[in-house]
């Protein structure tokens, strides 16, 4: 018999599921809390549930989706976690503490691989395997929360061990797995579960215009758009999706995106030497975003073997940033976290230690 994976169920769906066993609605709340908030991985740990119900659940349901296979920590305390799915794929999440120790961000994957084919991104090189399920998206947060709490204590004194922020910037294009993404976000925001507020969840997209519209109406999260170029000519070359949804359409979707009064869309801009990093490019970018509520995150390109691209020299990066700032466009320079363990932006390729997503 196929067991139902109740890890991927919202609290309401879990209640409906348990009703079939003649259970009252509040039982759904109890079980939900055990799974989503306390992160238990066996029914035996649910000590306020009757033995009889635990036994039935054991027979008809499951609550695991991923196995954590390994984790490695970078010199800057960024930690990459590798998980194996039931069908043997390896996906990754990254725990990123901030310098002040008050914030701990989890970078979550939405797909195994990616089919967007951005020419500068390492995840693209492994191709696309499949969408992650709701349970697999949630299990990254649940297992990472447990890993963070345990920690190893080394040099993390005084740092928060609770994940405070989620960013959907791991492997894959979240908006290409839209329904599951939305369902997972709703469960992550449930106050009986991990209880993330909408202000602490960021979803990044390469620019799937119709899906942006759906997302904006379905949940309130902080949107981020990977822009990476200010002209169609350059963006077509870096991001094939631009041929389908060119800049004018993308910027229009950004203008229409529902935002709280003080909120802005984050635009990520990977700076690549000689490709999109000139002062002219910077001016184009200012012009492009002139009537968008925008802030820009500048990410100097993370080099990897065979990419054919290079990181610009520091002076060019600073000159680029200066143009934006001088024109009143908020622009942060992102330091690359976890670079030494391939945990930085665009480096997730399912290879960690001896594990590999490629099955050769
Ligand atoms: N598919 C979504 C989510 C992934 S976010 C999106 O495109 O937004 C990953 C971020 O890393 C993107 O902003 C991407 O532009 C950036 N990135 C990809 N490869 C990179 C590299 N080699 N160096 C620096 N940033 C990179």
Whole-number pLDDT of residue 159: 62
Nearest CA to 250 among 213, 219, 215?
213
Q: For residue 127, what are its two tokens?
A: 């191709």
CA distance linking residue 358 with residue 350, whole number of Å:
8
Beta strands in 114-200 (DSSP E): 128-131, 165-168
Query: Is the pLDDT assigned to residue 42 strictly greater than 80?
Result: yes
* Residue 116 alpha carbon, nearest atom of ligand 1: 1
Q: For residue 318, what are its two tokens?
A: 């600073």
Q: Determine if ligand 1 sits within 6 Å of the CB of residue 270.
A: yes
Q: For residue 136, what are its two tokens?
A: 């697999």
CA distance linking residue 278 with residue 216, whole number of Å:
33
- How far is the centre of ligand 1, averaged over its atoms, from the C-alpha of 40 (Å)? 33
Q: Which residues are bridge partners to 61 per DSSP?
A: 4
Q: Which residues are catalytic?
A: 92, 345
Mean pLDDT of all residues belonging to the chain: 93
H or E element in which residue 80 lies: strand 79-85
Query: Is the pLDDT assigned to residue 71 strictly greater than 70?
Result: yes
What are 14-23's pLDDT values in tens digits?
Answer: 999 999 999 9
Whole-number pLDDT of residue 108: 98
Q: For residue 213, what are its two tokens?
A: 């519209």
Q: Determine if ligand 1 sits within 6 Å of the CB of residue 336.
A: no
pLDDT band at residue 349, thresholds of 50, 70 and 90? confident
Q: Determine if ligand 1 sits within 6 Å of the CB of residue 79.
A: no
pLDDT band at residue 342, thresholds of 50, 70 and 90? confident
Residue found by looking up tokens 């008809």 in the block: 60
H or E element in which residue 106 lies: strand 104-107
pLDDT band at residue 158, thresholds of 50, 70 and 90? low
Q: Determine if ligand 1 sits within 6 Å of the CB of residue 121.
A: yes
Q: Determine if ligand 1 sits within 6 Å of the CB of residue 43.
A: no
- How far is the centre of ligand 1, averaged over its atoms, from the C-alpha of 129 (Å)? 18
What are the respective helix, strand and coil percentages of the chain, to the nearest 5? 35, 20, 40
Whole-number pLDDT of residue 8: 98
Q: Determine if ligand 1 sits within 6 Å of the CB of residue 163.
A: no
- Closest-CA residue, ligand 1 atom 5, reads 169
CA distance linking residue 17 with residue 310, whole number of Å:
53
Q: What is the DSSP string of 25-77?
A: HHHHHHHHIIIIIS---SGGG-TTS-HHHHHHHHHHEE---EEEEEEEE-TTS
- How far is the centre of ligand 1, averaged over its atoms, from the C-alpha of 170 (Å)? 8
Whole-number pLDDT of residue 346: 76
- How far is the centre of ligand 1, averaged over its atoms, from the C-alpha of 333 (Å)? 15
Query: Is the pLDDT assigned to residue 166 strictly greater than 90?
Result: yes
Contact 298, 332 (CB under 8 A): yes
CA distance linking residue 61 with residue 174, whole number of Å:
27
Query: Is the pLDDT assigned to residue 172 strictly greater than 60?
Result: yes
Q: What is the DSSP letter of 162?
A: S
Whole-number pLDDT of residue 152: 52
Residue found by looking up tokens 């870096």 in the block: 238
């Amino acid at each position: 018999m196929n067991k139902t994976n109740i890890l991927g169920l919202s609290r309401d769906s879990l209640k409906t599921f348990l009703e079939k066993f003649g259970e009252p609605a509040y039982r759904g709340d109890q079980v939900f809390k055990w799974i989503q908030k306390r992160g238990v991985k066996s029914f035996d740990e649910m000590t306020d549930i009757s033995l009889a119900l635990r036994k039935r659940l054991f027979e008809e349901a499951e609550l695991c989706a991923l196995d954590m296979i390994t984790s490695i920590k970078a010199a800057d305390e960024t930690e990459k976690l590798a998980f194996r799915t039931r069908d043997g794929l390896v996906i990754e999440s990254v725990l990123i503490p901030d310098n002040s120790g008050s914030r701990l961000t989890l970078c979550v994957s939405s797909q195994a691989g990616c089919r967007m084919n951005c020419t500068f991104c390492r995840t693209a090189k492994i191709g696309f395997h499949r969408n992650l399920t709701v349970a697999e998206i949630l299990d990254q947060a649940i297992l990472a929360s447990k890993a963070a709490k345990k920690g190893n204590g080394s040099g993390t004194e005084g740092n928060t061990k609770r994940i405070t922020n989620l960013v959907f910037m791991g492997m894959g294009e979240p908006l290409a797995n839209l329904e599951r993404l939305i369902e997972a976000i709703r469960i992550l925001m449930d106050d009986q579960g991990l209880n993330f507020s909408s202000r602490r969840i960021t979803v990044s997209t390469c620019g799937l215009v119709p899906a942006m519209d759906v997302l904006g109406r379905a949940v309130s999260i902080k949107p981020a758009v990977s822009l990476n170029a200010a002209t169609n000519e350059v963006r077509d070359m870096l991001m094939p999706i631009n041929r389908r949804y060119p800049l004018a359409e993308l910027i229009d979707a950004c203008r229409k995106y529902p935002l709280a009064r003080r909120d802005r869309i984050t635009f990520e801009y990977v700076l690549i030497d000689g490709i999109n990093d000139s002062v002219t490019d910077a001016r184009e970018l200012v012009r492009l975003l002139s009537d968008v509520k925008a802030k820009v995150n500048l990410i100097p390109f993370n080099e990897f073997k065979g990419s054919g691209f290079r990181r610009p020299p520091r002076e060019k990066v600073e000159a680029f940033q200066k143009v934006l700032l001088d024109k009143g466009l908020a622009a942060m320079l992102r330091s690359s976290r976890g670079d030494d363990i391939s945990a930085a932006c665009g480096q997730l390729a399912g290879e960690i230690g001896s594990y590999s997503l490629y099955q050769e």
